[in-house]
Amino acid sequence: MCGIAGIINSRENHNGRELLNAICGAMRHRGPDGYGVHDAPGVLLGHRRLAVIDLETGDQPLYSEDRSVVLVVNGEIYNYQELRRELESKGHIFGTRSDSEVLIHLYEEQGEGFVSRLDGMFAFALFDSRKKKLFLGRDIMGKKPLYYFCCGKELVFASELGALKYHRDFPETLDCDALADYFSLLYIPQPGTVYKDVFHLPCAHIMSFDCTTGKKELRPYWRLEFSEKVTGSPEELGGELRRLFFKAVEKRLVADVPLGVFLSGGIDSNITAAAAAELSGAKGCSAYTVGFAEKCYDERFLAAQGAAFINARCGGNLRHKVQEVETLDFSLVEELVRHCGQPYADSSILPTALLSHFARQELTVALSGDGADELFGGYERYLAMAMAEKFTRIPVFLRKSALKTLSLFPEGGERTFAGRLRRFLKISCVRFDERYFAILDRCPETLRQRLFTPEFRSALSASGSERFRRHCGMLTTPCRGEIYSEMDIHSYLGGDILVKADISSMASALEVRSPFLDRQVAEFAAALPWEMKLKGRERKSLLRHAFGDMISPEVLHAPKKGFGVPVAHLLRTKWRRPAEELLFEGALPGSSFLRPDTVRTLWQEHQSGRKDNSYSLWSFLIFALFLRR
């Protein structure tokens, strides 16, 4: 796991090596174990290394035997041993034991189509000096990031958006559409960024760049298809899912450094920890949990029950380690905003960063349960959408009347029954094609009218729901209920969940692997009938059926909490003063995007306790920090 960067066709009036050193220096936290550079006329490639496999000879850049092909890669290739045996049988000579070197020889053998053979999480840059072409590629689910921009015939790329800003030609014009998406979704959907001319390479895509002409071509090499469904009993399908998942975990336990798992009170991390403990055998496996004093955000008790159950089943192979977070310092917020490089307001990045820092004291690699909710129907909103379908039988005036009545009462927070009911009534009053965006939207049209300045509003190209549908692209599922899961995989998973996992873990130089996002597991999940995932009111039904014997009954039947922090409470207490400085005294009031009077009204409502405006205020706060930087 590492950070990569490059400058192609560097301008004559630039000191390209100096710029590359600055870009890679900004990513030192991603790769503290080494720094390598390829410096040739017109081609500069840099690599910051976090040593995980082949600690002695795995430094990068890597070269082909005749040095005509050079490579830098961030990530892990899980099927590298199988590919290496195949390539060696065809006469290819390897100079390292690195998993990354297979990319070079596979490219020599198969051309740019080689990327479809890779099983792993990765972002790479491969330069062919004979063809004078650069190839950039990302893994199928988008686990590893890669940002780029072009200036004339010059191409600049890096693993972190913030690192690109060290290039003197970085395009700084903000994209109003991206900002509007941010205030609604709390993240910026890929492949866009907050900057008009800076892009995130889409997952499952490869881009070629002709160094002679400056022309670039982007093409997909894989897509998750929901169109064809398998048949079988829950026992048969559950057994196959279990086999594929154990295989995925086994592949991700290969490392030359200490490895463990994240453990919360949820079923996904418990399934992952149980499989890892079973496969680790006598050497065992460590699991890491962080908790908070606030009960509704604390999962330590459930995690401890889960660990005890796993140990009873696996003979004590799981070493459970717990840390309580007594205070949440605002400096962590500022640090993570710097790493993100653009506005990102999913507050669960904070506990994920704390968990990563805790685990990194003993580990270099951790397994997580990311991806299971999107693939197996785990989010409560999927159930809400199904219920809203039935609720539309009630006359709309009655639904709107109930919502209006509920709004008269103080808001106790989104995790309360009243908060959930309020959101449910809201989406039931929206037409079908806009309903899912409505349940996600943290900045609805009624708020935008008051919040966005006239200049900001006039710069927007379309409504939020229209842009959201474009981000989701063409959907393949034949099942109406599964539409929302597929939408999340195209938007939320890559734009929010995996960005959070990468930024929060790599800030501590920790590699995170996600067996639920294994290619075979994902393809099998997409082929499952929707009713195997959402069965009545039971979410992740087949997952529970397939792994129910591996996790404790308390975890299996506990309501989903999510991995959050008490932002609403912190904005009224510990973070109140720094928040007021940012919202009312810093760069935000002087910007041309948000109306200061509306921001102040939302703040006062929140401080009084009449309303929980924490999602909106948190997004403003992160945006203010971004503007300040």
Catalytic residues: 2
206 in the Ramachandran plot: left (φ > 0), alpha (ψ -120 to 50) or beta? beta
Please give the distance of CA 476 from its chain centroid, rounded to a whole number.
22
Residue 287 contacts residue 258 (beta carbons within 8 Å): no
Of 564, 542, 603, the residue nearest 267 (C-alpha): 542
In this structure, are strands 365-367 and 259-262 parallel, antiparallel, or unpaired? parallel
The one-character DSSP state at 362 is T
Contacts of 391 (CB under 8 A, 6+ apart): 399, 424, 428
Question: Tell me, what amino acid is at 137?
Answer: G
Q: Which two tokens stand for residue 8?
A: 């192609």
The owner of tokens 């009624």 is 446
Picking from 244, 237, 286, 289, the residue whose alpha carbon sits closest to that of residue 266 is 289
β 259-262/285-292 pair status: parallel
Rg of the chain's alpha carbons, rounded to an integer? Answer: 24
For 182-242, give the secondary structure using H, E and C. HHHHCCCCCCCCCECCCEECCCCEEEEEECCCCCEEEEECCCCCCCCCCCCCHHHHHHHHH
Instruction: Give the residue among 129, 90, 125, 81 at the shortest CA–CA distance from 110.
Output: 90
Say how far apart CA 404 and CA 194 lie, in whole Å: 35
Euclidean distance between CA atoms 309 and 159, whole angstroms: 39
In angstroms, the CA 341 to CA 333 distance is: 13
How far is it, in rounded angstroms, from Cα 602 to Cα 533? 39
